[in-house]
């Protein structure tokens, strides 16, 4: 199986000693509390290429020269094995360390994250977290030989391995360069965003700054709630095609596009968008050469998907996706169907399916298609009870991180079809309620909501161009990010720049400037999204 910590390329190994530290192969004597070090290996790597692996890395990164240190450890009496990889640029080190996050059930992305970091001058770390999974697949090691949960592995994935990576990364950096990093940062998206939140909550002194994109503060909640659209289509016996679904997307955009003062194909003011999908009942849509008449059953499915996971008694357990959220892009998301030979079938969300099979049912062969609304409700409550404390990153008490001087910069696409942004907004509201209100929290934690943007990018809207740079300026220079720059290419091929406002503000057109230029927009107050 392909490992994110391996690459089928030829390495060139030579002996290089850093100007004030030790040779790459001489790094030893690491003291990592709570661990037993099994091995440490260091090699110089020259002219290395990180290949493009869409959608994680869209373009290759060429010509990297670095010291690669691999540390394999275990935690006493846990019978686990965790591998941490540290890359240190041979020249141009910027004096900073950056921990990199993972995605899906991968705790780290290996070269895919490390390459970008050292290209920017950072020494950087990545962890395999003990190998719970690979992207959306959970590996058999999640279960022990008797079918019970491998709890040490769950703890490694939850937060422990990222903490170990931070300690290892800073120690290796100091040995190699002869001086500790002046600042330490964490950057990640999706599960990587969750890891960043968890680090700020559980290990508040590990990083001076955390950049967490498309985070998953309620990991145990969304992992079940993501099955909701599939279950709705099965239980309602109504499976609209992607073309039909997109008719609702387009209709909601047509209704709510102008709420921010400009017609650009993007819903920026989602909290003011009150779209009614039943208005399309009886309307005809051309799909694959056929005319489809939208019926009430289809509109009901769309409304239920928007409402989110709801118990049979009517209790809303988790939010759904915002109006205007598309179904095509780098990520299909949780709502997907396939039409073949005139027949449309629902596609099971792989990540949620794996989570339910392995971690809740403890049975990889469990039939997901049999789930009822009551079943999904029970699984949601089971998941929260068993896993939210260890896998979730929803503790609103960030006082330790605040008191340590840490800064948390987070962004989330408002059209995220995989990790719904309202979960992130809800978490921010809980932090505000606990820690003195929006203004006080914004002194150390800022959330930016990118209109039209899908999971970790894509979609049709301004994708943040350098959120880590904004975080560094905040931490080191005290430059508070009022906005972060975003960019996308519109339907006619023009590059559009838009500044993304920090929560709870929203971007609104000034009414007279060029709508493709960031200076034509202001940040205005918002009522909130939840």
Q: Looking at residue 422, which CATH number applies to its domain?
A: 3.40.50.1820
Contacts by 270-275 with C-beta closer than 8 Å and gap 24+? 270/322, 270/323, 270/324, 270/414, 270/451, 270/529, 271/506, 271/526, 271/527, 271/528, 271/529, 272/527, 273/322, 273/323, 273/324, 275/251, 275/323
Query: b or e along 297-310 (b: 16 or more beta carbons within 10 Å of the residue's beta carbon)?
Result: ebbbbbbbbbebbb
Shared-domain flag, residues 194 and 314: no
User: For the chain, how many structural domains are there in total?
Assistant: 2
**306 catalytic residue (yes or no):** no
- The pairing of strands 290-293 and 284-287 is antiparallel
Active site residue 190: yes
Residues 189 and 40 in one domain: yes
Which residues, other chains included, contact 8 with Cβ-Cβ below 8 Å and sequence gap of 6+? none
Residue 497: in which H helix or E strand, if any? strand 495-501
Alpha-carbon Rg for the chain in angstroms: 23
Residue recorded with tokens 């006082």: 399
Q: What's the rounded Cα separation, in Å, for the pair 158 and 160?
A: 6
Same domain, 404 and 353: no
pLDDT band at 344, cuts 50/70/90? confident
Write down the pLDDT at residue 331: 44
If asked whether residues 338 and 373 sit together in one domain, one would say yes
Instruction: Decide: 126 and 84 in contact? Cβ < 8 Å.
Output: yes
**Assigned domain for 354 exists:** yes
End residue of a domain, out of 364, 389, 414: 389
| Residue 288 to residue 295: CA distance in whole angstroms | 18
Average pLDDT in the chain: 91
Residue 97 and residue 58 share a domain: yes
Query: Does residue 349 belong to any structural domain of this protein?
Result: yes
Residues 242 and 342 in one domain: yes
Q: How far is CA 203 from CA 159, 288, 359, in A?
A: 9, 53, 25
pLDDT level of residue 342 (50, 70, 90 thresholds) = confident
Q: Which pLDDT value is given to residue 19?
A: 55
Structure tokens, 515? 């709508």
Report whether pLDDT(385) > 70.
Answer: yes
pLDDT at 329: 40
Dihedral in degrees, nearest 10, Cα atoms 239, 245, 247, 249: 150
Q: Which candidate, 243, 317, 253, places its Cα nearest to that of 285?
A: 243
d(CA 462, CA 489): 9
499 lies in a domain?
A: no
> Is the domain of 189 the same as that of 276?
no
Q: Which of 8-12, 426-430, 501-505 has the weakest average pLDDT?
A: 8-12
Phi, psi of 520, deg, nearest 5: -90, 10
Task: Examine the pLDDT at 5 and tell me if it is beyond 70.
Answer: no
Reported as a single tens digit per residue, the pLDDT across 68-125 is 999 999 999 999 999 999 999 999 999 999 999 999 999 999 999 999 999 999 999 9
pLDDT mean over 366-389: 96
Whether 339 and 397 share a structural domain: no
pLDDT in tens, 159-184: 999 999 999 999 999 999 999 999 99
Same domain for 271 and 156?
A: no
In this structure, the answer to whether residues 193 and 295 fall within a common structural domain is no
Q: Does 13 score more than 90 pLDDT? A: no
Considering the domain boundaries, does residue 64 fall inside one? Answer: yes
Going from the C-alpha of 301 to that of each of 74, 274, 295, 418, 500, the distances in angstroms are 48, 17, 10, 18, 32
Mean pLDDT is lowest, of 1-10, 246-255, 391-400, 501-510, for 1-10
Range of the domain at 169: 24-218+393-483
Q: Is residue 48 part of a domain?
A: yes
Cis omega before residue 196 (within 30°)?
Answer: no
Asked if the structure places residue 4 within a domain, the reply is: no
Q: What is the pLDDT of residue 340?
A: 80
Residue 153 belongs to a domain: yes
**Whether residue 404 sits in one domain with residue 340:** no
Task: Name beta bridge partners: 483.
Answer: 501
Of 106, 161, 190, 299, which one is the catalytic site residue? 190
Write down the catalytic residue from 206, 416, 432, 499: 416
How far apart, in whole angstroms, are the C-alpha atoms of residue 150 and residue 370?
26
Higher pLDDT, 290 or 299: 299
Q: Catalytic pick from 75, 163, 306, 455?
A: 455
* Predicted model pTM: 0.92
Joined together, the tokens standing for residue 123 give: 């020494």
Would 168 be classed as within a structural domain? yes
The pLDDT of residue 134 is above 90: no
Same domain assignment for residues 165 and 269: no
Instruction: Point out the domain boundary residue: 389, 424, 441.
Output: 389
- Is 514 catalytic? The answer is no
Q: CA-to-CA distance for 322 and 302, rounded, in angstroms?
A: 11
CA distance 475 to 405: 8
Q: In this predicted structure, what is the pLDDT of residue 7? A: 40
Q: Region 126-150: what's the mean pLDDT?
A: 91
- Among 389, 424, 442, residue at a domain's last position: 389
Please write down the long-range contacts of 372-376, taking CB distance under 8 Å and 24 or more positions apart: 372/231, 372/235, 373/231, 373/235, 373/310, 373/311, 373/312, 374/311, 374/312, 376/224, 376/227, 376/228, 376/231, 376/309
Predicted pLDDT of residue 355: 95
Could you read off the pLDDT of 300-338 as tens digits, one per residue? 999 999 999 999 999 999 999 999 998 644 345 677 878
């Amino acid at each position: 199986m392909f490992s994110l910590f391996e690459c089928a390329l030829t390495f060139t190994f030579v002996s290089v000693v850093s100007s004030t530290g030790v040779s790459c192969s001489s790094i030893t004597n690491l003291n990592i509390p709570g661990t037993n070090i099994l091995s440490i290996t260091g090699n110089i790597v020259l002219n290395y290429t990180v290949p493009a692996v869409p959608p994680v890395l869209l373009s290759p990164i060429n010509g990297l020269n670095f010291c690669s240190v691999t540390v394999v450890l275990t935690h006493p009496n846990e019978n686990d094995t965790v591998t941490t990889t540290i890359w240190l640029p041979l020249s141009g080190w910027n004096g900073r360390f950056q921990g990199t996050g993972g995605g899906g059930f991968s705790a780290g992305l290996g070269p895919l994250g490390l390459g970008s970091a050292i290209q920017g001058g950072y020494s950087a770390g990545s962890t395999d977290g003990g190998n719970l999974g690979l992207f959306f697949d959970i590996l058999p090691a999640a279960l022990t030989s008797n079918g019970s949960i491998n709890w040490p592995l769950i703890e490694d994935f939850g937060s422990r391995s990222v903490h170990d990576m931070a300690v290892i990364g800073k120690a290796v950096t100091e040995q190699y360069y002869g001086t500790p990093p002046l600042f330490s940062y964490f950057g990640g998206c999706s599960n990587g965003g969750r890891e960043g939140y968890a680090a700020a909550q559980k290990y508040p002194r590990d990083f001076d700054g955390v950049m967490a994109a498309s985070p998953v503060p309620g990991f145990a909640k969304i992992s079940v709630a993501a099955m909701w659209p599939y279950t709705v289509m099965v239980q309602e016996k109504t499976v609209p095609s992607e073309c039909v679904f997109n008719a609702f997307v387009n209709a909601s955009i047509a209704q709510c596009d102008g709420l921010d003062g400009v017609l650009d194909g993007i819903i920026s003011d989602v909290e003011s968008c009150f779209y009614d999908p039943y208005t399309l009942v009886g309307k005809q849509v051309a799909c694959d050469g056929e005319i489809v008449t939208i019926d009430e059953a289809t509109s009901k499915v769309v409304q239920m998907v928007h409402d989110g996971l709801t118990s049979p008694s009517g209790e809303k357990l988790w939010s759904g996706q915002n109006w205007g959220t598309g179904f095509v892009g780098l990520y299909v998301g949780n709502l997907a169907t396939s039409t073949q030979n005139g027949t449309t079938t629902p596609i099971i969300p792989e990540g949620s399916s794996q989570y339910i099979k392995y971690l809740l049912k403890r049975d990889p062969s469990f039939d997901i298609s049999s789930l009822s609304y009551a079943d999904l409700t029970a699984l949601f409550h089971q998941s929260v009870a068993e896993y939210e404390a260890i896998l979730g990153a929803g503790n609103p008490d960030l006082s330790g991180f605040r008191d340590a001087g840490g800064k948390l910069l987070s962004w989330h696409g408002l059209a995220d079809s995989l990790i719904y942004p309202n979960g992130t907004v809800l978490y921010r509201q809980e932090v505000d309620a606990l820690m003195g209100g929006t203004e006080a929290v914004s002194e150390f934690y800022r959330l930016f909501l990118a209109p039209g943007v899908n999971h970790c990018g894509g979609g049709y809207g301004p994708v943040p161009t350098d959120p880590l740079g904004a975080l560094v300026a905040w931490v080191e220079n005290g430059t508070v990010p009022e906005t972060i720059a975003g960019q996308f290419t519109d339907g006619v091929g023009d590059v559009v720049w838009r500044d993304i406002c920090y929560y709870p503000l929203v971007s609104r057109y000034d009414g007279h400037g060029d709508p493709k230029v960031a200076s034509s927009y202001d940040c205005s107050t918002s009522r909130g999204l939840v």
